[in-house]
Structure 1
Amino acid sequence: MKMIIAIVQNEDAHLLIDALMDKDFSVTKLATTGGFLKVGNTTLLIGVEDEKVEGVLEIIKEFGKNREQIITTTTPSAYGTGMYSSYPVSVQVGGATVFVVDVEQFLKF
């Protein structure tokens, strides 16, 4: 048995969870926060038999797409202390970070 831990953007989570549940995979959703953009994301815990791992990974690939997003960054200005300049920067967001971990024991009470 494996535990798949998938970290996705909040806006991708709903469709991904629906797709997993449509294929009869059990999913636990955790609200988490990313370190890079400091925005909310969703961590999914999916316990599956070894032979079903590839099926889950294909669904995650389908719904966890990368895309560009414009963010505003602030840097200190060269013209004086305490002054800052803001400018837009394009960054890649979305996608999925996935861990597949062996499960030593599974119990359900």
Structure 2
Amino acid sequence: MKLVIAIVQDEDAPKLVDNLMKNNYRITKLASTGGFLKSGNTTLLIGVEKEKVDDVIEIIKKLCKSRKQVTTSPSPTPMTGGVYIPYPVEVQVGGATIFVVDVDKFEKV
């Protein structure tokens, strides 16, 4: 048995969870925060048989594409007179970070 840990952007999580559940995968959903913009993420824990890992990863790849987003700079540029004016920055968001780990023991009680 394997544990797939997928960290995805909050925006991608609902469609991903729905799709995984339609394919009969059980999921534990955790709210998380991190990354460059300290934006909201969703961490999914998905326990699957070894043979199903590639299928789960393909579903994640299909639904969690990276894309560009315009946001204000995390550290505003100082202007004269001590006034800080944030400026727009284009950044990559989305995608997924996926870990697959072995499960020594699994019990459902």
Q: CA deviation at 1:84?
A: 1.6
Q: Number of matched residues? A: 107
Measure the CA separation in 1 of the matches of 2:65 and 2:95: 4
Q: CA deviation at 1:85?
A: 2.6
Q: What's the counterpart of residue 63 of structure 1? A: 63
SS at structure 2 position matched to 1:14? helix
Aligned AA (2:88): P
Aligned AA (1:54): D
Q: Does 1:9 align with 2:12?
A: no
The two structures have a TM-score, normalised by structure 1, of: 0.93
Cα RMSD, aligned residues only: 1.0
Q: Deviations over 1:49-95 (max 9, x none)?
A: 00000000000000111111001111223x34x33232100000000
Measure the CA separation in 2 of the matches of 1:34 and 1:65: 18
Measure the CA separation in 1 of the matches of 2:92 and 2:35: 14
Aligned AA (2:31): A
Taking only the aligned residue pairs, the percentage that are identical comes to 64
Measure the CA separation in 1 of the matches of 2:19 and 2:31: 19
Aligned AA (2:15): L
Aligned AA (1:75): T
The two structures have a TM-score, normalised by structure 2, of: 0.93
| Structure 2: runs of 5 or more not aligned | none
User: Which runs of structure 1 show a deviation greater than 6 angstroms over 4 or more consecutive aligned residues?
Assistant: none
Q: What's the counterpart of residue 75 of structure 1? A: 77
